[in-house]
Amino acid sequence: MKVLPISKMVHEQIVDHRIDNYPLMRHMGSKYKLVPWIRETLESLEFDSALDAFSGSGVVSHLLKSMDKTVYSNDFLHFSSTITKAVIENNNVRLSKKDLSFLLKENDCSDDFIVKTFSDVFYEKEDLVFLDQLSYNIRELKSPYKRAVAYTALFRSCLKKQPRGVFTISGNLDRYNDGRRDLKISIREHFIEQVQLYNEVIFDNGNRNLSFNMDIFDFNHKLYKPDLVYLDPPYVPKSNDNCYVKRYHFLEGLSKYWEGEEIMQDTKVKKIKKKYTAFSYKRTAIEAFDKMFEKFSDSIIVLSYSSNSYPDLDTLISLMKNHKSNIEIRTKAHRYSFGNHSAVKNAKANEYLIIGQD
């Protein structure tokens, strides 16, 4: 029986459905609300493969996969790369009811590291015990994709149970409790719901997509040769602290049960040692951008940039012109509502997409 190609309209509906189903992961700098605008820009460009160099919550990687592109997704944080291993690289592996029962079972083999380390920090003891036991059970799963899906469901569960969606405050969190359901139910209940949610997100776009966990300068662009590179690095902010490790250290540690991580015991929230990136410092950022543009000069470059960040727009355009002959700027007004300081909370800004082609 001959299979007829689907119409353009049907294909658009499929893409719309995939995008709409992607769970909002509370993540600093997430482009979740900007996806329709980014999609419009990407659809105007000709490419078959793409690298999402700083994947974060995975929302742009998921957009690219939904568009049926071959996706290479990378982030220097392990928990972020675990998310894209679950929903980008993974095309068809889901957690079954049997898997879920296995993950939820109590056991006598798990450690009590989380209970001991994070007592009276983020969650009640019942949740901490569950995290220890679930972490052990996840590591017992044989499939790396099932482990990734389970961890991703757990990350979102922990974020939903954390009042402000970050791990920078400790102790009595009642002052942030606004009565919402997310703060009332246990992490165990969250996890059960999130497993079902992420099972529904997984799909096969017919391509061999890959997830990486590395410094972007270590990515082998000559081997994979992405037609397009989407860049959304951690810009130096003008007023706020943009340290992703500071905000998500608990998820980063959880993703590997703190193996190989140095915990700063003198901190109230038990932070892990900050991971270095040249993009976070004024003294190194400009050189890092120039080096990155040079590295990916054979690809279409799409740089996502906010007007409340450093370097400024003119500097970035000038740097990109060293490596690309055709530069296009697209602008959209955007309101950022993720930050600790009054200068950035609900701050209005312009979001730019700087597109470099030959």
Distance CA 349, CA 358 (A): 29
Q: Report CA Rg, the chain.
A: 21
Q: Please report which confidence band the pLDDT of residue 225 belongs to, taking 50, 70 and 90 as the band edges.
A: very high
pLDDT value, residue 244: 78
> To 10 degrees, the CA torsion angle through 89, 93, 96, 101?
-50
Please give the average per-residue pLDDT across 142-156, as a whole number: 97
Q: Please report which confidence band the pLDDT of residue 50 belongs to, taking 50, 70 and 90 as the band edges.
A: very high
Q: Do residues 147 and 71 touch, judged by C-beta distance below 8 A?
A: no
61-94 pLDDT, tens digit each: 999 999 999 999 999 999 999 999 999 999 999 9
pLDDT value, residue 17: 86
pLDDT value, residue 184: 87
195-209 pLDDT, tens digit each: 999 999 999 999 999
Is pLDDT above 60 for 4? no
Instruction: Evaluate the omega torsion of the peptide bond into residue 233 and state whether it is cis, within 30 degrees of 0.
Output: no
List Cβ<8 Å contacts ≥24 apart for 120-128. 120/170, 120/171, 121/170, 121/171, 121/268, 121/269, 121/270, 122/162, 122/167, 122/170, 122/173, 122/250, 122/269, 123/161, 123/187, 126/186, 127/161, 127/186, 127/187, 127/188
Distance CA 260, CA 191 (A): 26
Min mean pLDDT across 13-22, 89-98, 343-352 is at 343-352
pLDDT value, residue 172: 58
With a CB cutoff of 8 Å and minimum separation 6, the contacts of 178 are 163
Looking at 303-347, list the stretches that DSSP marks H as alpha helix, in order from N- to C-terminal side: 313-321
102-124 pLDDT, tens digit each: 999 988 877 899 999 999 888 99
Distance of CA 277 to the CA centre of its chain: 16
pLDDT value, residue 340: 43
Distance CA 96, CA 119 (A): 32
Distance CA 175, CA 146 (A): 37
CA nearest neighbour of 15 among 52, 68, 57, 60: 68
Is pLDDT above 90 for 290? yes
Please give the average per-residue pLDDT across 314-341, as a whole number: 83
Collapsing DSSP to helix, strand or coil, 263 comes out as strand
With a CB cutoff of 8 Å and minimum separation 6, the contacts of 234 are 29, 54, 242, 244, 277, 279, 280
Is pLDDT above 60 for 339? no
CA nearest neighbour of 324 among 348, 289, 272: 289
pLDDT value, residue 313: 93
| Cα dist from 54 to 76, 80, 193, 211, whole Å | 8, 9, 27, 11
List Cβ<8 Å contacts ≥24 apart for 13-17. 15/66, 15/67
pLDDT value, residue 336: 59
Q: Please report which confidence band the pLDDT of residue 171 belongs to, taking 50, 70 and 90 as the band edges.
A: low
